[in-house]
């Protein structure tokens, strides 16, 4: 087993690059991670959930949310009908509430969804042709600009392909504005928020079939022509009529091989007990087996929160208790307690770098683009290990921090969050932040306790 679970995730902006994200710490003596997100982070992935703004005041709900999840997708609050209820008049209250909650709890946000044939406001449903195309572009631009710097990835276009064997686009008023509507939406999103990953998201594309082949052809074409696209989302809504495909992993892999990230974006699996648990395990293992599968999101927290509540498709029951599917998912992520005895003596490695003495050290790497930057800070434990750490990193004046992850920030002071305070000697964890402006040279210092 790889005890050296260090990972860095890449993210591309327009030519600019590499957002390094959260991460892992562990050694043979470590207890396994005890929550979904902490376990996923040790594998260099995120673990997320769909969130409804009106449930944030439910303490059972928010307690599970903040304990288990490191990425949130607004379930309905960023859709066109919610964000632009009348043309040109934008309404972000509920979505902003989710983003604020996420930022306050060290969670990142998947934006969902900028352009979709469903959940359009009435006024958009009454448009067609050039008027609709222009309204769509304006919508993408306005919403992506409002959330600029706060979104890990956007579902730019959702569900644009037809079901069945035809292998073509879904008919919709957006499609009737011209076949190029999808790339136009992606270009508008890139222009508005160059740091967000841009995803195409769909269902029934989870295995290789006519529909996923058609999406694959579009993505290949986008990559060949330089249309900005960074990821493909696989919704993964499964039930007995639509089971986890046997080629699920292979399908994720062939998309990843096109040179972009893949993500499981709306996972739910109807059923109960060990059969459901086994399916969740398979899906989790598939993502972990694909190096560019950067994370997975379940479509709700408790069964009672699900859009398909009667199918009990989620990881927590209606009372918020962990189900067998929770345990199998956590175990597949490598968390949940030791599954084998730790070795009786530490592994011998003659090539390991010496462990620095003292508490901890910190280094920063900056990816700068015109007008903004992302900085990844690596915290390495010295010979004493850490139980908690604080990094002090003076930031230049004139910048505005728009987002940070895997850390609690107070001005220039950055403190560990619950799952990354403990670092064994010589191991490291990473946190990051995104800002507008120019970073210059950043010099972090670290103190451990």
The answer to whether 72 and 48 have CB atoms below 8 angstroms apart is: yes
**Contact between 83 and ligand G2I per CB under 6 A:** no
Residues 6+ apart with CB under 8 A from 372: 149, 194, 195, 402, 434, 435, 436, 437
**Active-site pick, 159, 183, 270, 430:** 159
Q: Which is nearer to ligand G2I, 76 or 438 (CB)?
A: 76
> Which one among 42, 66, 68, 75 touches ligand G2I, defined by CB under 6 A?
75
The answer to whether 166 and 209 have CB atoms below 8 angstroms apart is: no
Tokens of 211: 């529909």
Distance between CA 414 and CA 211 in Å, rounded?
Answer: 46
Shortest distance (Å) from residue 83 CB to ligand G2I:
13
Q: What is the DSSP letter of 212?
A: H
**Contact between 119 and ligand G2I per CB under 6 A:** yes
Neighbour-count burial for 135-169, b at 16+ CB within 10 Å, e otherwise: bbbebbbbbbebbbbbbbbbbbbbbbbbeeeeeeb
The answer to whether 72 and 320 have CB atoms below 8 angstroms apart is: no
**Contact between 266 and ligand G2I per CB under 6 A:** yes
Shortest distance (Å) from residue 139 CB to ligand G2I:
16
Tokens of 115: 């352009």
**Contact between 263 and ligand G2I per CB under 6 A:** no
How many residues touch ligand G2I (CB under 6 A)? 9
Shortest distance (Å) from residue 216 CB to ligand G2I:
19
Shortest distance (Å) from residue 311 CB to ligand G2I:
12
Do the bridges between strand 108-116 and strand 71-74 make them parallel or antiparallel, or are there none, so unpaired? parallel
- Select the residue whose beta carbon is closest to ligand G2I and give its number: 307
Q: Which is nearer to ligand G2I, 68 or 266 (CB)?
A: 266
The pattern of x and - marking residues 316 through 355 that bind ligand G2I according to CB under 6 A reads: ----------------------------------------
Cα 382-385-387 angle, rounded to 5 deg: 135
Shortest distance (Å) from residue 203 CB to ligand G2I:
6
**Contact between 235 and ligand G2I per CB under 6 A:** yes
**Contact between 307 and ligand G2I per CB under 6 A:** yes
Sign of the C-alpha dihedral computed for residues 49, 51, 170 and 166 taken in this order:
positive
Active site residue 266: yes
Distance between CA 378 and CA 363 in Å, rounded?
Answer: 5
Active site residue 159: yes
**Contact between 76 and ligand G2I per CB under 6 A:** yes
Shortest distance (Å) from residue 306 CB to ligand G2I:
8
Can you give the binding site for ligand G2I, defined by CB under 6 A?
75-76, 118-119, 158, 203, 235, 266, 307
Tell me the catalytic residues. Answer: 159, 266
């Amino acid at each position: 087993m790889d005890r050296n679970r260090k990972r860095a995730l890449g993210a591309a902006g327009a030519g600019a690059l590499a957002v390094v994200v959260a991460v892992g710490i562990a050694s043979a003596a470590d207890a396994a991670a005890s929550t979904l997100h902490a376990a996923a982070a040790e594998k260099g992935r995120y673990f997320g959930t769909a969130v409804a703004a009106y449930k944030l005041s439910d303490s059972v709900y928010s307690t599970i949310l903040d304990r288990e999840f490191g990425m949130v997708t607004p379930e309905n609050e960023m859709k066109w009908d919610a964000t632009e209820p009348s043309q040109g008049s934008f309404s972000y209250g509920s979505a902003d509430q989710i983003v604020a909650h996420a930022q306050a709890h060290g969670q990142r946000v998947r934006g969902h969804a900028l352009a979709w044939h469903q959940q359009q406001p009435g006024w958009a449903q009454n448009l067609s042709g050039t008027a609709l195309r222009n309204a769509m572009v304006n919508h993408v631009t306005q919403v992506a600009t409002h959330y600029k710097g706060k979104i890990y990835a956007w579902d730019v276009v959702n569900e644009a392909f037809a079901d069945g064997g035809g292998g073509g686009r879904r008919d919709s008023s957006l499609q009737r504005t011209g076949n190029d509507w999808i790339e136009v939406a992606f270009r508008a999103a890139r222009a508005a928020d160059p740091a967000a990953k841009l995803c195409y998201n769909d269902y029934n594309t989870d295995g290789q079939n006519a529909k996923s082949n058609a999406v694959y052809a579009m993505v290949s074409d986008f990559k060949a022509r330089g249309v900005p696209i960074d990821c493909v989302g696989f919704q993964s809504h499964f039930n007995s009529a639509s089971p986890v495909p046997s080629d699920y992993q292979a399908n994720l892999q062939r998309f990843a091989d096109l040179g972009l990230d893949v993500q499981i974006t709306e996972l739910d699996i109807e059923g109960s007990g060990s059969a459901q648990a086994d399916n969740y395990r398979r899906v989790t293992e598939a993502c972990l087996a694909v190096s560019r599968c950067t994370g997975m999101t379940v479509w709700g927290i408790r069964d009672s929160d699900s859009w398909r509540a009667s199918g009990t498709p989620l990881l927590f029951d209606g009372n918020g208790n962990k189900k067998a599917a929770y345990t199998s998912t956590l175990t597949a992520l490598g968390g949940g307690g030791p599954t084998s005895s730790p070795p009786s003596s530490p592994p011998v490695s003659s090539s390991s770098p010496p462990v620095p003495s003292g508490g901890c050290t910190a280094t920063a790497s900056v990816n700068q683009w015109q007008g903004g930057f992302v900085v990844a800070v690596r915290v390495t434990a010295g010979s004493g290990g850490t139980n908690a750490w604080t990094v002090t990193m003076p930031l230049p004046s004139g910048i505005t921090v728009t987002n940070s992850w895997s850390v609690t920030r107070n001005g220039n002071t950055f403190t560990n969050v619950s799952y990354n305070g403990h670092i064994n000697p010589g191991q490291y964890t990473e946190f990051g932040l995104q800002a507008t402006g120019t970073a210059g040279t950043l010099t972090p210092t670290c103190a451990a306790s």
